[in-house]
Amino acid sequence: AHDSVGGVVLTRATGVPAGLGEPLYYKLDAILAEAMMGINAAKAVEIGDGIASTHLKGSQNNDPITPEGFASNHAGGILGGISNGDTIIVKTHFKPTPSIFKPQQTIDKEGNPVILELKGRHDPCVAIRGAVVTEAMMALVLADMVLLNMGSKMEHLTTLYKG
């Protein structure tokens, strides 16, 4: 009681076209991770199976392609920094908020030890609110990538400016 907890938010995007992102300097997974890490209290980001994939062999982690599409989605919809047309999966890990209603040891402005006791209203879990924020952040990144992708091919540019 009177404490806080962290949490993990799973965010998915379906219907994302294949080909968004770049293989080196503007990788979709890197941009998504940067955006999620920009959210207050975010401490880690995973794409697809993320950390769990480090415990697998390549044969277990590969996403076989069938005539119907991918047989699995360990990569989280992104391969080599580029969307592959499968569902994009991002897990954002949030720390527990430090604003708790338990006495905490700290120091005052002179450097003397003091006990801090908070009053007022504070969220016991910011990950709950973070779910809406991660969804919006993913939408912003994907919209930006769509616009960047439109300008990467001459036929897209001519179609854009004819209208």
Residue 52 belongs to a domain with what CATH number?
3.60.150.10
Query: How many C-beta atoms surround the C-beta of residue 93 within 10 A?
Result: 19
pLDDT band of residue 1 (cuts 50, 70, 90) is: confident
Q: Do the domain assignments include residue 2? A: no
- What does the pLDDT read at residue 2? 85
Query: Residue 13: which domain range?
Result: 7-162
Q: Do the domain assignments include residue 70? A: yes
Q: What phi, psi does 143 have (nearest 5°)?
A: -65, -40
Q: Do the domain assignments include residue 49? A: yes
Q: Do the domain assignments include residue 1? A: no
- What does the pLDDT read at residue 149? 82
Domain count for the chain, please give it.
1
- What does the pLDDT read at residue 138? 99
**Per-residue pLDDT tens for 75-126?**
999 999 999 999 999 999 999 998 888 899 999 999 999 999 888 777 889 9
Whether the Cβ atoms of residue 113 and residue 7 lie closer than 8 Å to each other: no
- What does the pLDDT read at residue 101? 86
Reported pTM: 0.86
- What does the pLDDT read at residue 150? 74
Q: What phi, psi does 20 have (nearest 5°)?
A: -85, 135
- What does the pLDDT read at residue 121? 74
**Per-residue pLDDT tens for 19-45?**
999 999 999 999 999 999 999 999 999
- Residue 59 CA, chain-centre distance (Å), reads 26
Query: Residue 51 has what DSSP assignment?
Result: G
- What does the pLDDT read at residue 7? 98
d(CA 2, CA 103): 10
Q: Do the domain assignments include residue 65? A: yes
- What does the pLDDT read at residue 119? 84
